[in-house]
């Protein structure tokens, strides 16, 4: 018998007092260890019974934890049926993709006629100036390092109609004027009537032609620097044109504030500014992208962006509707001037505006700061404006309600089947304890358990619970234990069935009556939820029995004391047996010695 294993069951340390190594039978030839083990095995039956009881309590605790989890899951669903929004399901169908709608449980049913007058917009502050003004045409190609580092090379101009092409060398020292002249010469040399030009106001390069043409970098990055790589060739009135998509001075946001200042000959110093009263601290050596992120992550309530195509900074409020955007350069950093937003245009956000009528004649104006407009329990989601009148049909969603209630019944049956299984399942007997899984060990541990039987019976009793109101019983909703002949067996198991047609009829007749049955002050779900809560809450019925400091644990502590006492008793008994057998071995050894002496003495006498 392994006393150490039994001691570990109750988290008790056990050390043998026999020195750890005993040898018996050296003289007698007896298997002393086996004899002592057999005696202890016989005398330890009460200890084994206590240990088995202790381990059973452990399994019961685990089993009840599982029961508690199952009941909690069921209770979560039951609780939701106390809410009107669970039972009362309504649907809203719109005639336009520009307006969707959701109907709450309190939504007024009917057909809504809706006109979208205006969507909600965001307040926008747009810089009046470009961050970096467009350079004049005397700037060299090598100086145009606003977004890319210019790399001199070869750009090829194709006449797509003839297949002819010409290579144009672009040098770092070439001015914009030089490049324009080279392109004009190239156009002529491939038989194209057209011209290249540079607009100092927009910072864009344009090429017009009477022929279809292409411009491709062979080496270098000319088309990137002038933002021609992302431009499309346009055709209009017999002419083709290719124009930069952004100013050549459009910035890369990895440029530092100090670098931007060198482009504009402006002054920038580290410090703090305020946007909507929120302080933003920055360093002149940080990049434009890091500054933008810092502002966007702040509590200023705005989103800052830099549009390199327009070469301007734009600030937009994060909340739609009428909002203010204020700028304060409290430290005189020059930041807002550098970003071109010191002078700006402010476009104040507008509220969404709907006109709604229930009869198509009398209209109500409804406003919202967002594009989600609520009216009569219906939320209208606006995604655009149309001159057409949109209809939204709000009605009871009978199918959804029936599915919700069926889901409730399914969960009820799942829970009752589980409890019934635990009360009736047999323990596993065809395997040893070492062969069994934890789940197999737990089988049958709650068979016929009094508390579980009580919970099962009380829940089953709710099948006949009488609620207050126009609907009193489950069977009036088409929820029952089944037809005659099967009803008794289902009642014993607590199993419910749903007559969908009857349930649908009741829902369509008066949905409020159905809701009152479940969620009223003394409704079915209300009372069932109260009962389940008493079972699963902290220190509830299950905890008082199987939880921390519950009855099972108190029993275990008592058993642990008895087990420890028995282990000590058997340990002493083991020592006693070893002493007795050792004494026996010593006596036998002495007798053998005396016998040997007598034998030798007799043999010596006979030899004389």
Domain of 296, CATH number, reads 3.30.70
- Range list of H helices, 226-300: 257-264, 288-296
- The three-point CA angle 347-352-358 to 5° equals 160
The CA distance from 462 to 523, in Å, is 11
Residue 182's closest CA among 213, 159, 156?
156
Q: What SS3 class is residue 278?
A: strand
Q: Do the Cβ atoms of 311 and 147 come closer than 8 Å?
A: no
The CA distance from 415 to 551, in Å, is 25
pLDDT at 21: 47
Q: Do the Cβ atoms of 580 and 573 come closer than 8 Å?
A: no
The CA distance from 351 to 320, in Å, is 7
User: How many CA atoms within 13 Å lie on the side-chain side of 15?
Assistant: 2
Instruction: Tell me: do 516 and 425 sit in the same domain.
Output: yes
Phi, then psi, of 276 in degrees rounded to 5: 55, 35
Instruction: Tell me: do 274 and 235 sit in the same domain.
Output: no
The CA distance from 65 to 67, in Å, is 5
| Number of domains forming the structure of the chain | 5
Q: Tell me, yes or no, whether 159 lies in a domain.
A: yes
Mean pLDDT by 10 residues, the chain (608 residues): 60 54 57 74 73 77 91 96 93 97 94 97 95 96 97 96 95 97 96 96 96 96 96 93 96 97 96 97 96 97 96 96 95 96 96 96 96 97 96 96 96 96 91 85 89 96 94 95 75 93 94 93 95 94 85 78 75 76 73 71 63
The CA distance from 362 to 339, in Å, is 51
Phi-psi region of 482 (alpha: psi -120 to 50; beta: other; left: phi over 0): left
Q: Do the Cβ atoms of 251 and 131 come closer than 8 Å?
A: yes
Last residue of a domain, one of 211, 243, 275: 243
Tell how strand 153-159 and strand 122-127 pair up: unpaired
Instruction: Tell me: do 435 and 302 sit in the same domain.
Output: no
Instruction: Domain of residue 236: give its range.
Output: 148-243
Residue 414's closest CA among 320, 307, 493?
493
Q: Tell me, yes or no, whether 372 lies in a domain.
A: yes
| Burial zone of 340 (CB within 10 Å; 0-12 exposed, 13-18 middle, 19+ buried) | buried
The maximal CA–CA distance of the chain, rounded, in angstroms, is 154
Q: Tell me, yes or no, whether 136 lies in a domain.
A: no
Q: Do the Cβ atoms of 211 and 147 come closer than 8 Å?
A: no
Q: Do the Cβ atoms of 340 and 313 come closer than 8 Å?
A: yes
Compute CA 222 distance to the chain's CA centroid, rounded to the nearest angstrom.
Answer: 48
Instruction: Tell me: do 431 and 514 sit in the same domain.
Output: yes
For residue 353, list its beta bridge partners. Answer: 118, 367
| Burial zone of 45 (CB within 10 Å; 0-12 exposed, 13-18 middle, 19+ buried) | exposed
The CA distance from 233 to 183, in Å, is 16
Q: Do the Cβ atoms of 325 and 273 come closer than 8 Å?
A: no
SS (H, E, C) 157-178: EEECCCCCEEEEEECCCCEHHH
pLDDT at 25: 55
Q: Tell me, yes or no, whether 590 lies in a domain.
A: no
The CA distance from 242 to 219, in Å, is 20
For residue 364, list its beta bridge partners. Answer: 356
Compute CA 225 distance to the chain's CA centroid, rounded to the nearest angstrom.
Answer: 44
Instruction: Tell me: do 258 and 367 sit in the same domain.
Output: no
Phi-psi region of 584 (alpha: psi -120 to 50; beta: other; left: phi over 0): alpha
Instruction: Tell me: do 418 and 506 sit in the same domain.
Output: yes
The CA distance from 317 to 327, in Å, is 13
In the 8-state DSSP scheme, what is residue 271?
Answer: E
| Assigned token pair, 538 | 């902290």
Please give the sequence-ordered ranges of beta strands (E in DSSP) within 284-343, or none if there are none. Answer: 302-307, 312-320, 327-328
pLDDT at 161: 92
Q: Tell me, yes or no, whether 228 lies in a domain.
A: yes
Instruction: Tell me: do 371 and 310 sit in the same domain.
Output: no
Instruction: Tell me: do 382 and 312 sit in the same domain.
Output: no
Q: Tell me, yes or no, whether 24 lies in a domain.
A: no
Phi, then psi, of 33 in degrees rounded to 5: -60, -45
Instruction: Tell me: do 291 and 174 sit in the same domain.
Output: no
Instruction: Tell me: do 190 and 258 sit in the same domain.
Output: no
Instruction: Tell me: do 331 and 451 sit in the same domain.
Output: no
SS (H, E, C) 382-431: ECCCCCCCEEEEEEECHHHHHHHHHHHHHHHHHHHHHHHHHHHCCCCCCC
The CA distance from 529 to 515, in Å, is 15
């Amino acid at each position: 018998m392994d006393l150490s294993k039994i001691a570990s069951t109750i988290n008790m340390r056990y050390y043998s007092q026999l020195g750890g190594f005993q040898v018996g039978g050296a003289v007698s030839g007896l298997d002393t260890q086996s004899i002592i083990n057999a005696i202890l095995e016989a005398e330890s039956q009460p200890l084994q019974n206590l240990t088995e009881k202790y381990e059973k309590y452990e399994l019961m605790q685990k089993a009840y934890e599982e029961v508690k989890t199952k009941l909690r899951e069921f209770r979560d669903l039951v609780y939701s049926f106390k809410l009107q929004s669970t039972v009362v399901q309504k649907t809203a169908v719109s005639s336009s993709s520009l307006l969707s709608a959701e109907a709450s449980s309190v939504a007024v049913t009917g057909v809504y006629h809706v006109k979208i007058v205006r969507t909600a917009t965001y307040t926008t502050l747009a810089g009046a100036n470009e961050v970096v003004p467009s350079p004049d045409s005397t700037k060299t190609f090598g100086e145009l390092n606003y977004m890319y580092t210019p790399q001199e090379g070869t750009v090829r101009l194709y006449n797509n109609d003839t297949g002819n092409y010409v290579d144009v060398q672009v040098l770092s020292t070439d001015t914009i004027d030089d490049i324009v002249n080279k392109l004009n010469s190239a156009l002529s040399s491939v038989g194209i009537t057209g011209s290249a030009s540079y607009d100092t106001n927009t910072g864009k390069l344009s090429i017009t032609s009477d022929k279809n043409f292409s411009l491709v970098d062979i080496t270098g990055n000319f088309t990137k620097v002038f933002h021609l790589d992302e431009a499309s060739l346009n055709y209009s009135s017999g002419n083709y044109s290719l124009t930069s998509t952004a100013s050549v001075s459009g910035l890369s946001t990895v440029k530092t504030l100090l670098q931007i200042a060198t482009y504009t000959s402006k002054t920038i110093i580290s410090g703090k500014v305020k946007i909507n009263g929120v302080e933003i601290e920055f360093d002149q050596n940080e990049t434009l992208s890091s500054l933008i992120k810092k502002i966007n992550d702040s509590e200023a309530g705005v989103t800052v962006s830099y549009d390199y195509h327009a070469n301007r900074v734009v600030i937009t409020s994060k909340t739609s509707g009428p909002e203010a955007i204020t700028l304060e350069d409290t430290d005189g950093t020059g930041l807002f001037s550098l970003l071109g937003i010191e002078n700006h245009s402010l476009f104040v956000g507008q509220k969404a505006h709907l006109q709604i009528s229930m009869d198509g004649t009398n209209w109500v104006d409804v406003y919202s700061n967002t594009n989600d407009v609520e009216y009569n329990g219906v939320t209208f989601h606006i995604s655009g404006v149309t001159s057409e009148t949109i209809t939204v049909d709000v009605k009871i969603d009978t199918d959804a309600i029936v599915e919700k209630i069926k889901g409730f019944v399914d969960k009820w049956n799942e829970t009752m089947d589980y409890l019934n299984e635990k009360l009736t399942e047999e323990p596993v007997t065809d395997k040893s304890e070492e062969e069994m899984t934890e789940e197999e060990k737990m089988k049958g541990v709650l068979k016929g358990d009094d508390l579980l039987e009580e919970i099962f019976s009380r829940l089953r009793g709710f099948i006949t619970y009488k609620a207050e109101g126009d609907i009193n019983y489950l069977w009036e909703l088409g929820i029952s234990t089944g037809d005659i002949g099967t009803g008794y067996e289902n009642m014993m198991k607590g199993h419910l069935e749903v007559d969908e047609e009857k349930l649908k009829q009741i829902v369509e007749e008066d949905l409020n009556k159905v809701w009152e049955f479940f969620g009223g002050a003394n409704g079915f779900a209300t009372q069932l939820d109260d009962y389940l809560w008493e079972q699963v809450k902290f220190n509830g019925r299950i905890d008082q029995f199987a939880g921390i400091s519950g009855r099972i644990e108190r029993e275990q502590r008592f058993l642990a004391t008895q087990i420890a006492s028995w282990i000590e008793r058997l340990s002493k008994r083991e020592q006693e047996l070893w002493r007795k057998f050792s004494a026996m071995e010593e006596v036998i050894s002495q007798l053998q010695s005396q016998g040997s002496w007598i034998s030798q003495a007799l043999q010596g006498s006979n030899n004389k």
